[in-house]
Amino acid sequence: MPFSTYLPEHMGSIRLTPSGPFVAGAYAELTLTYTAGTFGIDDTGMVKISWRTTSDMSKPQFDKPAAANFTTVEASNGAKLDVWFDRLNIRPYANTLLIRVGRGYLRAGDTLTVRMGDRRQGSPGYRLQTNCEARVELKTSIDAFATYEFTELPEQPAFALVPGPAAHWKAIWPSLAVVGEPFRLAIVAEDAWGNPTSEAEQQLALVPSHPIRGLPQTIAIKRGDGPRVLDNLIADAACDLDLRLLAQGEELARANPLRVVAAAPLRRYWGDLHGQSGETIGMGSAESYFRYARDLAFIDMVGHQGNDFQITDAFWAELNRLTAAFDAPGRFVCLSGYEWSGNTGMGGDRNIFFRREGRPIRRSSHILVEGQTSSRAVYTADELFRALAGEDAVVIAHVGGRYADIKCAHDGRLERSVEVHSTWGTFEWLLHDAFDMGYRVGVVCHSDDHKGRPGATKPGASTFGAIGGLTCYFMPELTRDALFEALRWRRHYGTTGTRLFLDLRATFEQPVTGFSEDPQLARGKEFAVREASMGDIIRPGSVPMRLTAEVIGTAPIERLDKARSTAAAAARPCGREN
């Protein structure tokens, strides 16, 4: 169903009542009144009302008047209408209510009244999208001449979605701190759908397991406050710290595990490097996406990975401007990049990250990018890796709309990790594919967020049914350079959204060989070691290895699985700290 630009000002108008705002995830009755334009709508002509592909707003139903989402459409002149729902529109507005004038026609001035969540016969209303958004557009297009050429109306109905009252609380602080050095605690109230909310009023008691300088005993959260940030907290002794948030003696939240050490050559920083905004198939602006990651999710690092075939040269330039503006060494890392979105048969999705802005985007196709572009398309993953040769870039294979086939194409000099979890689900088979092929890859988990909530993605009520992932990166400092080194040396671990503490070490009774570079890829220095940590490459020979894993979870740990190639072993945790 292509779009035409033919005389949009003569195709009519549409009005939404009430105009909002509405609470995210609430039930409402949306009444849309379309008034036919100069040409009316001919017999078998159509109206399409579409909303974003990744929105979890309910699908309309037409035969249960007392149930949720009951939808009716009436013509003012009594014309017979055919009404149905389908995902039948051009990306990123696939969800579509289709209305065909099946018998009769509309003249100029005739109206169609669309009631989504028609409450006249007992329906509770229409369940709205569960994530907040400043502008939820119901994009309306008209086929006035029954030609299947649709013209979008010049003014589109839209409404805002705001968070509901507080239903949950979160306490977020680092996973690792150094004795005597300041760190930060963020306290966030969320509504029932995981949206940060200022609709909260609570007196909170802060109960740490060990003394923390600068931490008040209580804080008062007032309506309208938003997240509370407590800076310059200091622990004076090495310990494992726990923190509980209490209200009237009831525990509302517990902070993620925090280890305090005397010294730390490598710190731990949390990142979500994979998601996209409304300029492609997500929601909200790219600027609001970055602000959410920094100011509401309280992650340390973020990346933006828009589908390449929707990124115009102008938007690529804007993304580069934004990542440069938001990147603040020592405080917040923001990476430039894009998702190479090739079909699975051509190699599948790859996340591309650049250390610096200003690098060319090499798209998998130009299917939704009109006009001339600054670079030609590269259609296969093999061609992509050749095009990236010499670039200061890192590639991560992932599973999304098109899963990455790393058996088909892989370059270990660039592709150092695989993403095994996102809001799409968990895909450990991608790691086993790498094992089968003998690749050395690290494990990351990111959100692939499409709802404007990087770093704190919740499933809502959609097919994006998993909590978004997070990855902990081992870095000496919070900078892009340090992040690139962590990615290239695979010094990181991924989670399904929690900030658990994990430490993995190998020890040897005799010296073994360590490598400064992956010997499969390049010549490097060899040296003797008796201990190895996450990401290190060693040749133990006949020397036995003792592998030690320490895990402090955010909930009781059921078991630990160790995977090597296609074999796996399970271990039960021991000790209270586990």
DSSP one-letter string for 316-354: HHHHHHHHHHH-BTTTBEEEEEEEE---GGGT--EEEEE
pLDDT-derived band of residue 557, with 50, 70 and 90 as boundaries? confident
Higher pLDDT, 66 or 556: 66
pLDDT-derived band of residue 463, with 50, 70 and 90 as boundaries? low
Q: How much is the mean pLDDT over the chain?
A: 94
Evaluate if residue 574 carries a pLDDT over 60: no
C-alpha neighbours within 13 Å on the C-beta side of residue 236: 5
Indicate where the chain has its CATH 3.20.20.140 domain(s). 267-499
| pLDDT tens, residue by residue, 486-521 | 999 999 999 999 999 999 999 999 999 999 988 988
- Mean pLDDT along residues 85-105: 94
Nearest to 533 by CA among 566, 573, 489: 489
d(CA 255, CA 174): 10
pLDDT score of 269: 98
Domain 168-261 of CATH type 2.60.40.1930: yes
- Do residues 186 and 255 lie in contact, with contact meaning Cβ atoms separated by under 8 Å? no
Nearest to 152 by CA among 336, 353, 11: 11
C-alpha neighbours within 13 Å on the C-beta side of residue 375: 21
Percent of the chain with pLDDT over 70: 97
Q: Is the dihedral of CA 63, 67, 71, 76 positive or negative?
A: positive
Number of other CB atoms surrounding residue 407 within 10 Å:
11
Residues with Cβ within 8 Å of 403's Cβ and at least 6 positions away in sequence, in order, are 344, 348, 349, 427, 430
State the alpha helices, DSSP H only, in 13-152: none
| pLDDT tens, residue by residue, 135-190 | 999 999 999 999 999 999 999 999 999 999 999 999 999 999 999 999 999 999 99
pLDDT score of 561: 82
d(CA 157, CA 139): 7
DSSP secondary structure letter of residue 361 = P
Higher pLDDT, 576 or 424: 424
Q: What SS3 state is found at 241?
A: strand
| pLDDT tens, residue by residue, 253-264 | 999 999 999 999
Catalogue the E-assigned strands of 88-201. 95-103, 111-116, 126-127, 133-137, 139-143, 150-152, 158-162, 168-172, 176-178, 183-190
Evaluate if residue 565 carries a pLDDT over 80: no
- Do residues 450 and 275 lie in contact, with contact meaning Cβ atoms separated by under 8 Å? yes
pLDDT-derived band of residue 461, with 50, 70 and 90 as boundaries? confident
In order, the DSSP letters of 248-308 are TTEEEEEPPPEEEES--SSEEEEEE--B--TTTTSSS-HHHHHHHHHHTS--SEEE---BG
pLDDT score of 572: 46
Percent of the chain with pLDDT over 90: 90
pLDDT score of 577: 41
CA 123 to mean position of chain CA atoms: 33
| pLDDT tens, residue by residue, 325-349 | 999 999 999 999 999 999 999 999 9
Q: What SS3 state is found at 509?
A: strand
- Do residues 550 and 574 lie in contact, with contact meaning Cβ atoms separated by under 8 Å? no
Pick the CATH number of 3-162 from 1.10.3470, 2.40.160, 2.60.40, 3.30.70: 2.60.40
Amino acid at residue number 536? D
d(CA 290, CA 276): 10
In order, the DSSP letters of 409-451 are ---TTTEEEEEEEETTEE-HHHHHHHHHHT---EEEE---B-S
- Do residues 540 and 508 lie in contact, with contact meaning Cβ atoms separated by under 8 Å? yes
Mutual angle of helices 313-326 and 286-295, in 10-degree steps: 20
Q: Residue 82: which H helix or E strand, with range?
A: strand 80-87
DSSP secondary structure letter of residue 41 = B
| pLDDT tens, residue by residue, 376-434 | 999 999 999 999 999 999 999 999 888 999 999 999 999 999 999 999 999 999 999 99
Evaluate if residue 575 carries a pLDDT over 70: no
Amino acid at residue number 32? L
Domain 267-499 of CATH type 3.20.20.140: yes
d(CA 183, CA 231): 6
Nearest to 159 by CA among 28, 29, 16, 55: 16
| pLDDT tens, residue by residue, 194-252 | 999 999 999 999 999 999 999 999 999 999 999 999 999 999 999 999 999 999 999 99
d(CA 195, CA 131): 6
pLDDT score of 520: 87
